[in-house]
């Protein structure tokens, strides 16, 4: 279910290319364990249809117009092409897409020229919309046969007769507008095939020979879009962080560089600021490098092994050596980790130190302070340094 949500989101849509150049759109939204109708429209122009779709990026398409031929034959066969030859013996099979439905000793066969279908799929692709799968004629209604209670449904151009939960007859005819309740959704007869189409790709029921290719194309596109957005978001966070770190120093440097005539004292000040900027850059680079090495694991292990009775106030990786002076270069103790905090129980502190000394990456531990100025019943402040192996 999680993969389904990541792949398709919450909105599912189907479009019927009906007769007389009518496009019937139905969009359903997944809410908990049910669907609700979020959009429905009927358009006469493909461009208007695209406007109605807005942010919908995937659809199921039903081609059910004058370009589709459907025939019922009194034969069943495991090989679809054999049925296709029986139904339409004079066609060149390689020029047509086809769909079959076999039931009760009969087979319904629908065909459409590849030239027409491919042209329409290309139109969707140019608009950035992926067709997940498509169906021909009224055959997609087979996805409703297990859930409808009526013995007859009507679509935009036919009456569908059911018998024992299977399609018994499809009769092309002029159909008046009528409302049906499908799985608690009130839909008109012109939306019946769209509902069936949405059920088809939500339940992964294949309709066309191109299903696998169409689906894989969409998934590759989806993975690329999600990866691109994640990478872009990460890049923006990194850039923002760098901007916040260096912006104040950059402004000072730019102001001093803009002075045409500068006194010797100002030149010295500019040099000091520039050195400070460089030191800060080295500091950021040092910590970025450290975060990518095994040393970052040491900090995680320290945090994970800290007893509940010990409160850490400070944990410094590669602390400064000595007191910091503005006229001196910053020097870091690269093999040290400095920890400061307070402890409730002396034995917990001793056990923690003993545990840390057993770690492969710990060379030695030097306790600089413990319990100084402690009063009875209060916390013991501590400070110690860990020397790590390179």
- Given this model, what pLDDT does residue 32 score? 81
For residue 307, what is the DSSP state?
-
pLDDT at 345 over 50: yes
Q: 0.75 cut: is pTM over it?
A: no
- Given this model, what pLDDT does residue 304 score? 85
The 10 Å CB-count burial string (b at 16+, else e) for 349-382 is beebeeebeebeebeebeeeebeeeeeeeebbbb
Q: Are β-strands 166-172 and 158-163 bridged in parallel, bridged antiparallel, or unpaired?
A: antiparallel
pLDDT at 68 over 90: yes
Of the CATH numbers 3.30.420.380, 3.90.245.10, 3.40.630.30, 3.20.19.10, which one belongs to the domain with range 2-209?
A: 3.30.420.380
For residue 337, give the nearest of 301, 284, 304, 308 by alpha carbon.
301
For residue 336, give the nearest of 365, 360, 294, 359 by alpha carbon.
365
Please, which pLDDT band fits residue 228 given cuts at 50, 70 and 90?
Answer: very low
Question: What CA–CA distance (Å, rounded) separates 14 from 193?
Answer: 8
Backbone phi, then psi, for 275, in 5-degree steps? -65, -40
pLDDT at 203 over 80: yes
Instruction: Report residue 169 as tokens.
Output: 């007859």
Query: Which CA distances in Å does 152 have to 141, 166, 243?
Result: 11, 11, 67
Q: Tell how many helices (H) and how many strands (E) occur in the chain.
A: 9, 17
Q: What is the pLDDT of residues 281-340, one digit of tens each?
A: 766 565 555 545 666 778 788 888 889 889 888 888 888 877 666 666 767 788 888 989
Q: So where are the chain's domains? A: 2-209, 294-390
Domain 294-390: which topology? Alpha-Beta Plaits (3.30.70)
Supply the mean pLDDT for the chain.
Answer: 84
Q: What is the pLDDT of residues 140-193, one digit of tens each?
A: 999 999 999 889 999 999 999 999 889 999 999 999 999 999 989 999 999 999
Question: What CA–CA distance (Å, rounded) separates 371 from 105?
Answer: 91
- Given this model, what pLDDT does residue 297 score? 79
Higher per-residue pLDDT: 228 or 232: 232
pLDDT at 373 over 80: no
């Amino acid at each position: 279910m999680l993969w389904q949500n990541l792949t398709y989101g919450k909105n599912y849509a189907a479009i019927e290319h009906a007769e007389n150049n009518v496009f019937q759109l139905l969009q359903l939204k997944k809410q908990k364990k049910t669907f609700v109708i979020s959009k429905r429209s009927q358009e006469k122009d493909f461009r208007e249809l695209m406007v109605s779709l807005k942010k919908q990026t995937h659809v199921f398409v039903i081609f059910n117009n004058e370009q589709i031929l459907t025939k019922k034959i009194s034969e069943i066969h495991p090989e679809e092409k054999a049925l296709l030859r029986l139904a339409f013996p004079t066609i060149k099979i390689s020029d047509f897409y086809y769909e079959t439905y076999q039931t009760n000793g009969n087979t319904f066969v629908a065909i459409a020229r590849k030239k027409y279908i491919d042209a329409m799929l290309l139109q969707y692709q140019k608009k950035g919309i992926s067709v997940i799968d498509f169906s021909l004629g009224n055959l997609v209604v087979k996805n409703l046969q297990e859930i409808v209670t009526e013995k007859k449904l009507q679509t935009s151009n036919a009456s569908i007769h059911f018998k024992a939960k299977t399609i018994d007859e499809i009769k092309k005819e002029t159909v008046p507008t009528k409302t049906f309740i499908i799985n608690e959704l009130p839909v008109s007869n012109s939306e019946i095939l769209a509902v069936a189409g949405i059920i088809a790709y939500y339940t992964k029921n294949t309709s066309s020979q191109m299903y696998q290719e169409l689906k894989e194309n969409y998934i590759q596109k989806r993975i690329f879009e999600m990866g691109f957005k994640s990478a872009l978001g990460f890049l923006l966070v990194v850039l923002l962080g760098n901007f916040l770190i260096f912006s104040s120093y950059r402004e000072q440097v730019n102001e001093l560089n803009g002075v045409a005539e500068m006194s010797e004292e100002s030149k010295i000040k500019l040099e000091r600021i520039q050195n400070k900027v460089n030191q800060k850059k080295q500091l950021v680079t040092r910590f970025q490098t450290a975060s990518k090495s095994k040393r970052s694991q040491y900090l995680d292990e320290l945090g994970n092994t800290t007893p509940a009775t010990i409160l850490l106030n400070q944990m410094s990786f590669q602390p400064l050596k000595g007191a910091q002076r503005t006229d001196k270069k910053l020097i870091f103790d690269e093999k040290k980790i400095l920890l400061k905090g307070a402890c409730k129980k002396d034995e917990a502190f001793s056990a923690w130190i003993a545990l840390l000394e057993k770690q492969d990456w710990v060379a030695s531990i030097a306790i600089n302070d413990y319990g100084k100025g402690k009063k009875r019943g209060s916390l013991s402040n501590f400070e110690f340094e860990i020397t790590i192996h390179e």
